[in-house]
């Protein structure tokens, strides 16, 4: 399954970004953002990069004023990390990759005073992206962020937002990226700080997975940022399966 997930991630990273083939690496660049999570490379399965390959990759990102970094499943390319470390790279983190079986039924209770919805209007789309940005400590969002989410949905992705009934405020959201070959990633699941510990993140996660499976997805995966998030995702039916490596030039 790791090979299918890595192939999916490789295709998803290239969608809407500039790409460059550098030795056994696919380098991706977002022309509109220097966010490191939107600018990274992925090695080919079984890659055995040379020192010149690593140097060329480093220079490609440096020319664009970006920090060279990679995100990939080391199980699919076990020979890559040593070559990167020899070139001055250091691991940023090893994140557990979690999957949920499509036949697992999980239906957590809806948090009190909260409704889950698919954001459609400009206001809802902007509210969803604003809630995600605040949850992750990002900058204020704009209409372009809402349009990016609209484009994700139009391409087959799924978005779910959590709205407080009393105020009509969207307080959390998450997405499933557009599926390919029956695979999708749950990402950006975030809840504003004032609304945490109420089961909202778990409800968002379960609803996203439910809608993805209903749309024909057979493999849904995600990567929690910390142990706390991992426990939330476990309650939504996900279980650890593999590891994701984030590694960047020191």
Q: Residue 6's pLDDT band (boundaries 50, 70, 90)?
A: very high
pLDDT for residue 119 is more than 90: yes
The number of domains in the chain is 2
User: Both 80 and 119 in a single domain?
Assistant: no
Residue 7, helix vs strand vs coil: helix
User: Both 132 and 237 in a single domain?
Assistant: yes
Q: What is the mean pLDDT of residues 31-40?
A: 89
Q: What digits encode the pLDDT tens for the residues 75-114?
A: 999 999 999 999 999 999 999 999 998 888 888 888 999 9
User: Both 73 and 186 in a single domain?
Assistant: no
DSSP characters for 141-167? Answer: P-HHHHHHHHHHHHTT-EEEEEEETTT
User: Both 121 and 232 in a single domain?
Assistant: yes
User: Both 55 and 141 in a single domain?
Assistant: no
Would you say residue 101 lies in a domain?
no
Predicted confidence at residue 224, as pLDDT, reads 92
Phi, psi angles (nearest 5°) of residue 28 = -120, 145
Q: Supply the range of the domain harboring residue 211.
A: 114-241
Would you say residue 228 lies in a domain?
yes
**Boundary-marking domain end, from 69, 87, 105:** 87
User: Both 206 and 159 in a single domain?
Assistant: yes
Predicted confidence at residue 240, as pLDDT, reads 94
User: Both 224 and 139 in a single domain?
Assistant: yes
pLDDT for residue 61 is more than 90: yes
User: Both 140 and 237 in a single domain?
Assistant: yes
Average pLDDT over the chain reads 94
Would you say residue 108 lies in a domain?
no
Q: Residue 15's pLDDT band (boundaries 50, 70, 90)?
A: confident
The structure's pTM equals: 0.86
Would you say residue 97 lies in a domain?
no
Would you say residue 131 lies in a domain?
yes
Predicted confidence at residue 104, as pLDDT, reads 86
Would you say residue 38 lies in a domain?
yes
Element (H, E) at 228: helix 227-235
Would you say residue 49 lies in a domain?
yes
Q: Residue 16's pLDDT band (boundaries 50, 70, 90)?
A: confident
Q: What is the mean pLDDT of residues 153-181?
A: 96
Helices and strands counted in the chain (H then E): 7, 11
Q: What digits encode the pLDDT tens for the residues 170-214?
A: 999 999 999 999 999 999 999 999 999 999 999 999 999 999 999
User: Both 122 and 211 in a single domain?
Assistant: yes
Residue 209 sits in a domain whose CATH number is 3.40.630.30
Q: Residue 26's pLDDT band (boundaries 50, 70, 90)?
A: very high
pLDDT for residue 33 is more than 90: no
Q: What is the mean pLDDT of residues 111-138?
A: 95
**Boundary-marking domain end, from 52, 87, 122:** 87
User: Both 143 and 59 in a single domain?
Assistant: no
Would you say residue 215 lies in a domain?
yes
Q: Is there a contact between 246 and 91 (Cβ–Cβ < 8 Å)?
A: yes
Residues above pLDDT 90, as percent of the chain: 86
| DSSP, res 136 | T
User: Both 81 and 120 in a single domain?
Assistant: no
User: Both 65 and 123 in a single domain?
Assistant: no
**Boundary-marking domain end, from 87, 105, 134:** 87
Q: Is there a contact between 170 and 204 (Cβ–Cβ < 8 Å)?
A: no
pLDDT for residue 140 is more than 90: no
Phi, psi angles (nearest 5°) of residue 103 = -95, 5
């Amino acid at each position: 399954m790791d090979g299918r997930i890595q192939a999916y991630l490789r295709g998803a990273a290239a969608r809407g970004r500039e790409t460059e083939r550098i030795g056994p690496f696919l380098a991706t660049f977002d022309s509109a953002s220097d966010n490191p999570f939107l600018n990274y490379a992925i090695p080919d399965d079984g890659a055995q990069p040379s020192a010149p390959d690593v140097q060329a990759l480093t220079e490609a990102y440096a020319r664009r004023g970006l920090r060279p970094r990679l995100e990939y499943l080391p199980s699919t390319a076990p020979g890559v990390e040593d070559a990167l470390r020899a070139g001055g790279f250091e691991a940023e983190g090893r994140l557990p990759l979690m999957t949920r079986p499509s036949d697992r039924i999980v239906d957590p209770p809806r948090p009190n005073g909260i409704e889950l919805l698919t954001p459609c209007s400009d206001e809802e789309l902007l509210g969803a992206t604003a809630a995600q940005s605040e949850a992750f400590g990002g900058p204020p969002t704009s209409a372009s962020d809402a349009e990016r989410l609209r484009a994700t949905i139009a391409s087959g992705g799924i978005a779910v937002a959590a709205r407080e009934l009393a105020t009509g405020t969207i307080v959390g959201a998450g997405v499933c990226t557009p599926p390919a070959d029956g695979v999708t990633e749950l990402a950006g699941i975030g809840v504003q700080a004032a609304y945490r510990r109420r089961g909202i993140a778990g409800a968002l996660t379960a609803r996203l997975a439910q809608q993805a499976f209903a749309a024909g997805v057979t493999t849904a995966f995600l990567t929690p940022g910390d142990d706390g998030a991992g426990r939330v995702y476990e309650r939504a039916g996900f279980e650890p399966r593999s590891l994701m490596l984030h590694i960047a030039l020191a």
